[in-house]
């Protein structure tokens, strides 16, 4: 699998340092607020697992799975709920955990949905931000790293459901796309 990677963009060590920093910040900002931390499946899974263990505050965890109608590499903006939350967001302080914000359409939908469901506050934490891809007016409250407008894989991010288990963020060799 690792032989398919052309270049490592963000190493496992860099991710580790960053999640500690973000975890400390959330610890300070959310003491005694019992936030509901919502991971967006499947991509946010490793970041969610690592980040929440760096937060020293009581919190609740939930997951949501949404799919946007589009092809493998871009989203169309029409979002469908595949798995909804178990918990109610009414009156809660929500922290959405994402792997990457590209067009921002997925998050734009989720933020409106949680406001509609009467959340007290909604904050966005993303490991990666790809600002050049933006179509919706979405700015993350916390972003780990800014990435260029290239397709990235690893640490939750997939190409055709593969590479989510890479411990770092990388760019695939071009022939991997060509051959599939």
Active site residues: 102
CB 139 within 8 A of CB 130: no
Q: Kindly tell me which of 52 and 75 has the beta carbon lying closer to ligand XMP.
A: 75
126 is a site residue for ligand XMP (CB under 6 A): no
100 is a site residue for ligand XMP (CB under 6 A): yes
Binding mask 3-42 for Mg ion (x = CB under 5 A): ----------------------------------------
CA distances for 30 relative to 38, 104, 115, 120, angstroms: 14, 25, 19, 13
Count of residues interacting with ligand XMP (CB under 6 A) = 18
Q: Kindly tell me which of 120 and 168 has the beta carbon lying closer to ligand XMP.
A: 168
144 is a site residue for Mg ion (CB under 5 A): no
Q: How far is the CB of 151 from ligand XMP (least distance, A)?
A: 4
119 is a site residue for ligand XMP (CB under 6 A): no
43 is a site residue for Mg ion (CB under 5 A): yes
144 is a site residue for ligand XMP (CB under 6 A): no
Tokens of 99: 């792997």
Among 85, 121, 145, 151, binds ligand XMP (CB under 6 A): 151
Contact set with Mg ion (CB under 5 A): 43
Contact set with ligand XMP (CB under 6 A): 43, 68, 75, 98-106, 130, 151-153, 157-158
């Amino acid at each position: 699998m690792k032989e398919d990677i052309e270049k490592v963009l963000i190493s496992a060590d860099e991710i580790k340092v960053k999640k500690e920093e973000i975890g400390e910040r959330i610890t300070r900002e959310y003491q005694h607020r019992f936030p509901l931390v919502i991971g967006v499946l499947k991509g946010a899974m490793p970041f969610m697992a690592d980040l929440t263990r760096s937060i020293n505050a009581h919190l609740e965890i939930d997951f949501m799975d949404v799919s946007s109608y589009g092809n493998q590499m871009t989203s169309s903006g029409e979002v469908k709920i595949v798995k909804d939350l178990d918990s109610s967001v009414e009156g809660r302080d929500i922290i959405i955990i994402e792997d990457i914000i590209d067009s921002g359409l997925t998050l734009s939908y989720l933020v409106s949905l949680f406001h509609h469901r009467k959340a007290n506050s909604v904050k966005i934490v993303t490991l990666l931000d790809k600002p050049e891809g933006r179509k919706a007016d979405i700015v993350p409250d916390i972003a780990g790293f800014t990435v260029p407008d290239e397709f990235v894989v690893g640490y939750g991010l997939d190409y055709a459901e593969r590479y989510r288990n890479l411990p770092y963020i990388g760019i695939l060799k071009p022939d991997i796309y060509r051959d599939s």
